[in-house]
Amino acid sequence: MTVRTLLRRFEGSDLTVTVYGPPSVTTVVERLTAQRVDATWRTLPTGETEAFAVIHRDGAFAETVPLTALETFLCEPTAGIGDSGGPDSDPGRQLLRSALANTLLSSLTPAQLLATSQEFEDRAYRVGEGTLRVSFQSLSIFRSQRARYETLASDTALDIHVYGRADWEPPTIPGITFHPLTDSTLESVWLLAFDAAGDDQNKCALVAEKTEDGPFRGVWTYSPRLVDEIMTTVAAVDG
């Protein structure tokens, strides 16, 4: 499996979002459309804080989420990063992640990917064991996340593997194994996969590739089968 073949599985996923709220929320619909999500707006005589979105998948109701959660991810994805509660402390954001899982999004920013990655890192921290595999494209990018990953490694029994182009010599950090890439398989990929020590309820993965225009296109999943497949694929990468 390659990243492209994985993402191709989710092309044309039948997801529709209807946003209910005042005219000020139409920006959210525009942002969803930019992600190639079928989105519409319906007027609701209420304030923006009471607005909400209804998500359907394959014609069936999937979830109702507060508009604030959708706005945070689409318009201000870094809001809340670093908070003591973490991204999972907001039930609205948990619902949103679940509702949008297995949906190929076509124009993801680094901030949106960082927000999703942090949710999965927080999940790995709470589980406290298992294998976490992360691709930073190049090892030098890891430097900005070094303190966070040192905490992950020191506070848990996680087996952490970091992949990236060999453009920096990483330090020795107990619990973290670095894999300088010797081919280009993962160099354009933002990837995080966690096997939760075999606990299917907590497995998760994010896979995105950089597009020619600059943004990333990608998908996250909680499917145990897909997470296992991604973990096996990354483990086999020459690095």
Across 211-224, average pLDDT: 91
pTM, two decimals, is 0.89
Quote the CA–CA distance of 128 and 200 in Å, as a whole number. Answer: 15
Quote the CA–CA distance of 8 and 87 in Å, as a whole number. Answer: 28
Q: What is the pLDDT of residues 107-135, one digit of tens each?
A: 899 999 998 999 999 999 999 999 999 99
**70-74, 78-82, 88-92, 99-103: least confident range:** 78-82
User: Residue 89 is part of which domain span?
Assistant: 3-235
What value does the mean pLDDT of the chain take?
88
Bridge partners for 28 per DSSP:
none
pLDDT for 80? 39
Residue 200 — φ and ψ, nearest 5°? -60, -25
CATH code, domain with 163:
3.30.870
Bridge partners for 64 per DSSP:
54
Kindly state the tokens that stand for 32. 């969803």
Residue of 57 and 92 predicted with greater confidence: 57
pLDDT for 81? 34
User: How many distinct structural domains can be found in the chain?
Assistant: 1
